Amino acid sequence: MTAANTNEDQFAILRRTMVEQVALHADHVSGKTGRDAIAHPVMEAIGRVPRHAFVPVEMTLYAYLDSPLPIGCGKTISQPFIVALMTDLLEIGAGHRVLEIGTGLGYQAALLAELAAEVYTVELIKELGQSGRRRLDEQGYGNVQFRIGDGSLGWPDHAPYDRIIATAAPDLIPPALLQQLKPGGRMVIPAGLEDDQRLLLVTKDEGGRYETDEILPVRFSHLMSGADEHDSGD
């Protein structure tokens, strides 16, 4: 057996442990989330995606902890339980077109690509978006389209979307995202002021009316505007 194989086997073992931790965590907070368990297809997808391929190389050893990790440029990848919960809340169908705001290094996009037909992902920071794209390409996720830009404007060219997910938090839900959600669609988005964010589930009925449920208090990095990115000097 080659060293590379041994590593992959070890990652597979670590990944199984992470999946068990995610299931325990979901059970523990089911009273708050109103969901007894993460759906099987989501758990299976988490069991398949090599999270170590979607974190910076110096974080590889920690990739399978149920914990958030830095991904560079001051950003973090959410802890696996939160990624699982958000993905579960979306209730993705195999034929769905999904929009993600905040590609980062692409872990969430990989999970979406496992479950949906088409994934469109938008990242404001070029360096992260390009790295995410390379990682998703290397892992063979051919059903993901990428864009560098301000995701608070959505991606109108491919709208409407069956599902929308944001992995950075605006103060208020951007109107463009509400507009680009299909009637009958679902959106999962953290929103609120820095110390008072909630994970929200937005559903749009066939008549175009919205309903918003608060799921959990959360802490995400802020959804920046194009001007913020300009100010950061990148």
Per-residue mark of binding to ligand SAH, 83-102 (x: CB under 6 A): ------------------xx
- Report d(CA 16, CA 175) in Å as an integer: 39
Q: Residue 160: is the preceding peptide bond cis (ω within 30°)? A: yes
131-142 per-residue burial string, b: 16 or more CB within 10 A, e: under 16: bbbebbeebebe
**Binding to ligand SAH by residue 151, rule CB under 6 A?**
yes
Q: Residues near 142 by Cβ (< 8 Å), separated by ≥ 6?
A: none
3-state secondary structure of 128: helix
CB nearer to ligand SAH: give 33 or 221: 221
Q: Which of 88, 114, 150, 162 binds ligand SAH (CB under 6 A)?
A: 150
- Subset of 20-79 contacting ligand SAH (CB under 6 A): 71, 75, 77
30 assigned to active site: no
Active-site choice (67, 78, 152, 221): 78
Q: Which of 22, 122, 199, 215 binds ligand SAH (CB under 6 A)?
A: 122
What is the amino acid identity at position 139?
Answer: Q
CB nearer to ligand SAH: give 25 or 54: 54
Q: Residues near 145 by Cβ (< 8 Å), separated by ≥ 6?
A: 118, 119, 120, 121, 158
**Binding to ligand SAH by residue 105, rule CB under 6 A?**
yes
3-state secondary structure of 228: helix
Q: Which of 18, 123, 162, 215 binds ligand SAH (CB under 6 A)?
A: 123
Residues contacting ligand SAH: total by CB under 6 A: 22
H/E segment holding residue 119: strand 118-123
CB nearer to ligand SAH: give 30 or 126: 126
Show which residues are catalytic: 78
